[in-house]
Structure 1
Amino acid sequence: MKTHLLRGATSLSVLLVAACAVGPDFQRPDAPGVSQYTPGTPLAETSSAKVAGGAAQRIQNGRDIPGDWWRVFRSDSLDRLIAEALRANPDLQAAQASLRQAQENVAAGQGALFPTISGSSSATRQQSNSTASTATGTRTVTSVFNVTSASLDVSYDLDVFGGTRRNIESLQAQADFEQFQLEASYLTISSNVVVAAIQEASLRAQIDATQDIIKTQRSFLGILQQQFAAGGISQADVASQQAVVAQTEATLPPLQKQLAQQRNQLAVFLGRFPSEISGDDFQLSSLQLPTDLPLSLPSKLVEQRPDIRSSEAQLHAASAKIGVAIANMLPQISLSASYGSTASSFGDLFSPGTVAWSLAGSIVQTIFDGGTLLHDKRAAEAGFDVAAAQYRSTVLSSFEDVANALHAIQFDADTLKAQLAAEQAAQRSLTIARSQFQAGATDYATVLTAQTNLLNARISRIQAQAARLSDTAALFQALGGGWWNRTDTPAGATQPTPSLPK
């Protein structure tokens, strides 16, 4: 009998090794065949303006992206805040926990490849009654005895058709999805902090510019009041200037509100309460615009974008689920064995005559289930089609993001150049208008128009400066943020540390 069992086990092992998992074997989608992100001649260098943040930027095709890409802005304060955000942001911690959960699910699923072994033991004291014959009739005999048993049970579901392996494959793909979701969280958080810092700097500059213009307008109001007192102008001109000052002052509170709200948002990115934000007041002058910008090859983008890799992992999981559904339609083969002993006392367990064992095998094939398994398979195939369409959509959106960033870098540089020229012209126009008004060569309406034009031009120039910085951050984010070059703690760790010096 032992020889037959050995031969059977050997044959079964050969069958399992030779067996292939049913269902499709996943193949990574090919990279798009396009050679550039935008139509026409690719951008090589932007225009420049003689102002902070107005340098020309050059596109470096095929250049790699650093893991700590935010360092291109040359701001120690920004580096510190990003380091803090990557340590304390709760969204990042949630992504880390989701990855650990998915990895544990993979480990749990792999357990199905091994036999399940369980042991049991019991002790029972029993009483039984029997009837015995005597010379005078019958009598009841009461017996009290102990029953002690122990057994070892083994069960094993054979993965002949690879259903278990496909399920593990699906779980691993889900873990890959969570891995790239974590990378996306790193990128999103660092990008959010950079953009928040730029927006804060822009708002501070707009507030400073508005306050400077108010100061100038008040000074001119003083001159008008002196001229009115001397009888040189009408009271209407003085009233008009007072209205201009009031209108300009009215633009300050909204800017201050936006700045306060921006600071609150930055505090949340850092994992702080809004009341805990302090220090690190960003100025546009403290953020340097990089002159060289890396641009990955289009064929590399699908490997670099975390959202594309996450979508690819979902496509992989959907592919593996087709194999699981097919395997469920095929025979399910299982083995079981038991080895145990039953005796009247614990000390007699496994003594001669008390041992019992069993070995069994079963094959179960569903004959009729109302089409459940068939429709499960078709649902899995439809799920794959859904994931494939979503993958294509993600790829298209990713290329759109890069193209949009490149267009923004190009045209916002032109905008800053034009806005600087407009501001300079508005400043000259106001200076001339005031001189002519004081000389009596023009009316006050000309001065009023020039003042309004200068305020609008200065605010627009500041916004254009900030836009160029934000466009740079958007390009790095659109290209994937260089997560593959990060040197921080292993993925899934509780407290990540960015690649910044201590």
Structure 2
Amino acid sequence: MRDILPIRTLLFAASAASALAGCTVGPDFAPPQAPSATSYRAAYDTSGMPVPGAPAVIRGEGPELRWWTAFNSPALDKLVDQALAKNASLEASNATLAAAREQVAAVRGKQLPQIDANARAEHEQVNLASVGFKANPALGIDGNPEFNLYSVGAGVSFDLDPFGKLRRGTEETAAKAEAQLRQTEAAHLAVAGKVVTQVLTIAAIRDRIATANALLADDRRNVDLTNKRKQAGEGTLVEVLNAQSQFENDRSDIPQLKQQLAEARHLLATLIGVTPSELGPTDFDFSQFTLPSQIPVTLPSQLVHKRPDILQAEANFHAATAAVGVATANLYPDINIGASLEQGSTDFTHLLGNSSRGFDLFGGLLAPIFHGGTLKAEKRAAVDRAKASAATYRQTVLQAFQQVADLLQAVDSDARSVANQHEATAVAQKSLNLSRRSFQVGNTGILQTLDAERQYQKARYNLVEAQARQFTNVAQLYVATAGGWIEQKN
């Protein structure tokens, strides 16, 4: 037991030295202050006045994590949940996050004593002549002897980290893991938003196809009616050809719309983690969704503490600040202490005997003297990277505020646009009905009816586009202020 007391003494000294080593060079990270802005738009901006038909914006804590349920569509909810569970990109992001967390544990382990064991068996021949001995049988020296050598041992080493290089390195790695967490949160938010947007896109395309089919049915009736008028001697061949031309033109739009629908479905399948052939029915239309009457929007002062891309930029800034500490510590000496214990014998049965035991204690200091300016340049580079990260953080905050302000404006503008398009569609429908009746009784020609149909088709398409834009911008506003992954894992 007395032989291993020096090792225990060394370990105790190392632990005590570690506890006393409180010097950590480099700047300490301080989270950036929250912005002083209380609103996303200027106080004099009258565009923020309430608009009839627009969802009311409620400023406070922001939307719920499962914000997509506000559209009141169980089918949509199911698709988003499936995407969050099976999307391949999210799976990769989750795995990358797990790896980043393991890396933190790996780096943190370097702050503790490093203990290793070793064992070795070897067969040797000693060249006596190389060390000045000659063969002498009388003395028992006969040629170059051969023998087996067995050894076992253990060693411990400990970096006292007097200037905090390891501690700053652990801090840097932990901040990078935090950045990866926030990037994973942002990825989940983005995928949820893409699924909602894609479903709304499918609904819009299907509504356009339905409008095109309804107009095509009217075109067929026009062709039949002009043929009958011509056969009765009341119409002309020109009217028949005009009606047929309109029918063919409208019919040519439908294949392109169906192609767009197929592509939208294929993208949705990829988002939810299945092949296009495995995607079930997607018979969505806007009548299946409810536009939220209220949209909870996060306050500006809280957005910087909730939105993942801002939190990721802050974590990157933290990592860059810690890296300055690592580069600074490289300019100072480093101290290592340790010990080893080894048993060695040519006879395996005597390997653990006291006579074959040996140990050593060591302490080492490594101080940089001249490295051609490399270490100082690395520190300056680390400082510059920290400045860049600080600027990137500020830019991320400004862009986030811009996005929210744009979407708040869009919510108001969309409500006005939808209301206007409803009125335009109603007027175009009345005009079309009057034109058809006038043509049927022979008061006008087919060209006036065809023109009224084109105006109605345009108005109907514009209404669908306005509705799609309104729902999409509401969804994007939820994403812009939702501020967290569905499970909020930390």
Secondary structure of the structure 2 residue equivalent to 1:479: helix
The residue aligned with 1:36 is 39
- RMSD over aligned Cα, in angstroms? 2.5
Give aligned-pair identity as a percent.
34
| Native 8 Å contact 1:180 1:306 kept in 2 | yes
Label 1:310 to 1:119 Cα distance change in 2 as closer, same or farther (>3 A): same
| CA-to-aligned-CA distance 1:433-466 (integer Å, 9 cap, x gap) | 2333344444443322211100100111111112
Q: Measure how far apart 1:179 and its partner are.
A: 0.7
Cα distance, 1:154 vs structure 2: 1.6
Would the alpha carbon gap of residues 458 and 374 (structure 1) be closer, same or farther in structure 2, given more than 3 Å must change?
A: same
- Residue equivalent to 1:117: 115
Query: SS where residue 460 of structure 2 aligns?
Result: helix
Aligned equivalent of 1:307? 309
1:141 corresponds to which residue? 142
Would the alpha carbon gap of residues 476 and 447 (structure 1) be closer, same or farther in structure 2, given more than 3 Å must change?
Answer: same
Alignment check: 8 A CA contact 2:239 2:445 kept: no
Output one character per residue of 1:396-420: Cα deviation in whole Å (capped at 9) or x when no partner: 1111111111111111111111111
Question: Deviation per CA, 1:229-260, whole angstroms, max 9, x where unpaired?
Answer: 22222221221121111111111111111001
Distance 2:436 2:148 in 1: 115
| TM-score, length of structure 2 as denominator length | 0.91
Out of 83, 86, 96, the position equivalent to 1:85 is 83
Q: Gaps (5+ residues) in structure 2?
A: 129-133
Q: Does residue 403 of structure 2 align to residue 405 of structure 1?
A: no
User: In structure 2, what is the Cα distance between the partners aligned to 1:404 and 1:453?
Assistant: 31
Give the letter for the 1:426 counterpart: A
1:323 deviates by 0.4
1:216 matched to which residue of 2?
218
| Equivalent residues of 2:14, 2:337 under 8 A apart | no
Q: Distance in 2 between matches of 1:163 and 1:448?
A: 79
1:359 aligns with 2:357: no
1:46 aligns to 2:51 (yes or no)? yes
Deviations 1:351-396 (A, max 9, x none): 3443322111111111111111011111111111221121122111
Alignment of 1:64-463 (within 5 A): 64-126=62-124, 131-132=135-136, 141=142, 145-463=147-465
Distance, in Å, in 2 between the alignment partners of 1:19 and 1:108 is 22
- Equivalent residue letter for 2:87: N
| Counterpart secondary structure, 1:303 | coil
What amino acid is aligned across from residue 36 of structure 2 in structure 1? G
Contact 2:200 2:471 in 1 (8 A): yes
> Which residue in the other structure is 1:500 paired with?
none
Partner Cα separation in structure 2 for residue 239 and residue 174 of structure 1: 70
* Matched position secondary structure for 1:359: strand
1:423 maps to amino acid: T
Distance 1:369 1:208, change over 3 A: same
- Sort the Cα spacing of 1:359 and 1:63 in 2 relative to 1 into closer, same or farther, 3 A: closer
Distance change (3 Å), C-alpha of 1:383 and 1:249: same
Identify which of 474, 477, 484 aligns with 2:476. 474
Q: Aligned pair in 2 of structure 1 residues 106, 63: CA closer, same or farther (>3 Å)?
A: closer
Counterpart residue type for residue 25 of structure 2:
V
Residue 162 of structure 2: SS of its match in structure 1? coil
Following superposition, the deviation at residue 284 of structure 1 comes to: 1.2
Q: In 1, Cα distance between the equivalents of 2:439 and 2:148?
A: 119
- The 2-side partners of 1:202 and 1:262 are apart by 11
Q: Is the 8 A contact 1:43 1:59 kept in 2?
A: no
Counterpart residue identity of residue 60, structure 1: I
Structure 1 residue runs of 5 or longer lacking an equivalent are 49-55, 492-502
Looking at structure 2, the residues matched to 400 and 315 of structure 1 have their Cα atoms a distance apart, in angstroms, of 21
Equivalents in 2 of 1:439, 1:158: separation in Å?
A: 101
Contact in 2 for aligned 1:16/1:159 (Cα 8 Å): no
Q: Deviations over 1:125-149 (max 9, x none)?
A: 5566764476xxx995366654433
Distance 1:44 1:17 in 2: 62
- Cα distance change on mapping 1:191 and 1:127 into 2, 3 Å: closer
Secondary structure of residue in 2 paired with 1:155: strand
Moved more, 167-176 or 144-153: 144-153
Change in Cα spacing, 1:356 to 1:255, as seen in structure 2 (3 Å) is same
Shift of 1:220: 2.5
Report the residue type matching 2:35 in the other structure.
P
Q: How far, CA to CA, are the matches of 2:9 and 2:340 in structure 1?
A: 17
Q: Distance in 2 between matches of 1:315 and 1:341?
A: 50
SS in 2 for 1:338: strand
CA contact (8 A) 2:18 2:160 kept: no
Q: Do 1:155 and 1:335's aligned partners in 2 also have CA atoms closer than 8 Å?
A: yes
SS of corresponding position for 1:113: coil
Task: Read off the aligned partner of 2:279 and give its amino acid letter.
Answer: I
Distance 2:334 2:415 in 1: 66
Contact 1:318 1:387 survives alignment (8 Å): yes
What's the CA shift for 1:347? 3.4
Contact 1:155/1:337 (<8 A) preserved: yes
The secondary structure found in structure 2 opposite 1:121 is strand
Q: Which amino acid is the alignment partner of residue 32 of structure 1?
A: P
Offset at residue 221 of structure 1 (A): 2.5
Distance in 1, matches of 2:263 and 2:97, equals 32
For the residues of structure 2 that align with 1:292 and 1:440, how far apart are their CA atoms? Answer: 52
Q: What amino acid maps onto 1:414 in structure 2?
A: R
Return the letter of the residue paired with 1:195: T
How far is the alpha carbon of 1:344 from its aligned partner?
3.6
Q: Which deviates more, 68-77 or 347-356? A: 347-356
Give the letter for the 1:27 counterpart.
A
Preserved contact between residue 44 and residue 59 of structure 1 (Cα < 8 Å): no
Q: Structure 1 residues 364 and 241, CA, compared in 2 at 3 Å: closer, same or farther?
A: same
Check 1:283–1:193 CA distance in 2 against 1; reply closer, same or farther (3 A cut): same
Shift of the alpha carbon at 1:196? Answer: 0.7
Answer whether contact 1:66 1:482 (CA < 8 A) is retained: no
Aligned AA for 1:96? N
